[in-house]
Amino acid sequence: MKYNTKKYDYLIVGAGPYGAIFAYEAAKRGKRSLIIEKRAHVGGNMYTHKEVGINVHDYGAHIFHTDNKIVWDYINQFTEFNGYVNQVVANYKGELYNLPFNMNTFYQMWGVKTPEEAAAKIEKQKAAAGISGTAKNLEEQAISLIGTDIYSKLIKGYTEKQWGRKATELPAFIIRRLPVRYTFDNNYFNHRYQGVPVDGYTAIFDKMLDSDLIDLKINMDFLENKTTFVEEFPKIVYTGMIDAFFDYKYGELEYRSVRFERESFDSDNKQGNAVINYTDAKTPFTRVMEWRHFDQKAEAGKTILTKEYPQDWDRTKEAYYPVNDERNSSLFKTYREEADKVKKVIFGGRLGNYQYYDMDQVFGAALKAVEKEFGD
Ligand code: UDP
């Protein structure tokens, strides 16, 4: 079977943000792309669908946040944002705390009322735990930032079920994603720009791909016909798993997967917040999202909630989070060196680069690749 029937300039594997941005920018420059997508829809994990007037995020909560003005202006070409600011509540065995770690959390945990009191409490717990110097793992990093009480109630259980391994076996950088603040500020992110698209994320992709120079084939798996694709196309942008591209020849990179359970209710407000984290070890899910609270104009009397359950990954499941421990990072390096030799393929996106990327980072990386490719 011939695939490059229209003399496409690019084959783009994956219709997530990296692939869609590349196709859009290529089309702007008169280049023709064929995008093939394994799933039945565009948008990758950013995909949303509308139900009873509510934009439901099918692959978990996606809140766009960035400090990168170029990226913010770029995505704003395709959508308006609603000004949503993420403020997460943690439920630890029925006790409620504000996240990320801030003066509200410290007050709820210890009754302290000033930054000095909070800092003293944390210092004392850190010293008692014998933590000093550079943190070697997530546990040490967490205790050194916010002490043992918060670590044991809000981090340890959540982290170990989320990742399926001990906090002492996880890299410290994962916990540094969350702000620690000595102010009464519950904003989950430190970034200047933040929000959720008013019409959902899928509309952004529909706009990006709406071009005579872009063809899209969904339900098509690149790996089933890799050899033919590589032969026929002058250039390929590949956003699938890098180890899969090389037939796992050096071994399999590990991922963590999640699954979602969605439920609808006849109610205007079920849990009172967009995201509630369940931070104990026993509750099998990590968080529950109530989509209408992501600043939506939902129909009265209807609400939709999604529970997020972490699970082990194998090749039959969706790969969500790369496990950036030492073994995997070094294995990725080996694949990366191999990828450098394949000149006609650009590897991109979270799976192609094996990175725990936020959306804005994928946007930034795609725009860099565009700049490199087109030199403008
Ligand atoms: N985390 C935690 N308790 C929480 C929320 C997060 O211990 O209530 C830790 C956990 O290790 C998690 C990491 O912080 O993997 C990063 O959290 P974030 O919300 O950024 O994760 P994501 O939204 O990317 O899944």
Q: Is 117 noted as a catalytic residue in this protein?
A: no
Coarse DSSP helix, strand, coil percentages of the chain, rounded to the nearest 5 percent = 40, 20, 40
- Residue of 25, 139, 308, 360 with catalytic role: 308
Q: Is 308 noted as a catalytic residue in this protein?
A: yes
- Find the mean pLDDT for residues 223-247: 97
Spatial separation of the C-alpha atoms in residues 339 and 247, rounded to whole Å: 12
Contact 162, 286 (CB under 8 A): yes
Looking at per-residue confidence, does 14 or 2 come out higher?
A: 14
pLDDT interval class at 298 (50, 70, 90): confident
Q: Is 177 noted as a catalytic residue in this protein?
A: yes
Instruction: Look at residue 54 in the predicted model and tell me its pLDDT.
Output: 95
Cβ neighbors of 72 (< 8 A, separation 6 or more) are: 66, 193, 360
In this structure, the dihedral spanned by the alpha carbons of residues 338, 340, 342 and 347, taken in order and rounded to 10 degrees, is 100
Amino acid at 373: E
pLDDT interval class at 295 (50, 70, 90): confident
Task: Please choose, from the candidates 333, 264, 276, the residue with its C-alpha nearest in 3D space to the C-alpha of residue 302.
Answer: 264
Instruction: Look at residue 297 in the predicted model and tell me its pLDDT.
Output: 78
Q: Is 280 noted as a catalytic residue in this protein?
A: no
Whether 211 has a pLDDT exceeding 90, the answer reads yes
- Find the mean pLDDT for residues 199-204: 97
- Find the mean pLDDT for residues 317-329: 92
Q: What confidence tens digit (pLDDT) does each residue in 64-97 have?
A: 999 999 999 999 999 999 999 999 999 999 999 9
Whether 279 has a pLDDT exceeding 90, the answer reads yes
The CA 43 to ligand 1 mean position distance, Å, reads 23
- Residue of 32, 287, 292, 350 with catalytic role: 287
Whether 296 has a pLDDT exceeding 90, the answer reads no
- Find the mean pLDDT for residues 31-51: 97
Q: Collapsing DSSP states into helix, strand and coil, what is residue 45? A: helix
DSSP string over 181-195: -SSS---S---SEEE
DSSP string over 22-38: HHHHHHHTT--EEEE-S
Instruction: Look at residue 156 in the predicted model and tell me its pLDDT.
Output: 98
pLDDT interval class at 100 (50, 70, 90): very high
Contact 32, 8 (CB under 8 A): yes
Q: Is 29 noted as a catalytic residue in this protein?
A: no
Q: Which residues have C-beta atoms less than 6 Å from ligand 1?
A: 90, 99, 154-155, 158-159, 162, 174-175, 177-178, 277, 279
Query: Which pTM was predicted?
Result: 0.96
Instruction: Look at residue 251 in the predicted model and tell me its pLDDT.
Output: 97
Instruction: Look at residue 32 in the predicted model and tell me its pLDDT.
Output: 98
- Find the mean pLDDT for residues 222-229: 97
- Percent pLDDT > 70 in the chain is 100
Q: Is 256 noted as a catalytic residue in this protein?
A: yes
Spatial separation of the C-alpha atoms in residues 187 and 85, rounded to whole Å: 6
Spatial separation of the C-alpha atoms in residues 72 and 76, rounded to whole Å: 6
- Domains located in the chain, CATH noted: 10-84+194-253+322-374 (3.40.50.720), 88-188 (no CATH)
Distances (CA, A) of 255 to 109, 163, 204, 328, 350: 33, 9, 27, 9, 11
CA 262 and chain centroid, separation: 19
Q: DSSP letter at 154?
A: I
Q: What confidence tens digit (pLDDT) does each residue in 142-185 have?
A: 999 999 999 999 999 999 999 999 999 999 999 999 999 999 99
Whether 132 has a pLDDT exceeding 90, the answer reads no
Spatial separation of the C-alpha atoms in residues 139 and 169, rounded to whole Å: 8
Q: Which of 59, 63, 88, 158 best tests ligand 1's pocket when mutated (most atoms within 8 Å of CB)?
A: 158
Atom of ligand 1 lying closest to residue 188 CA:
19
Q: DSSP letter at 197?
A: B
The CA 258 to ligand 1 mean position distance, Å, reads 13
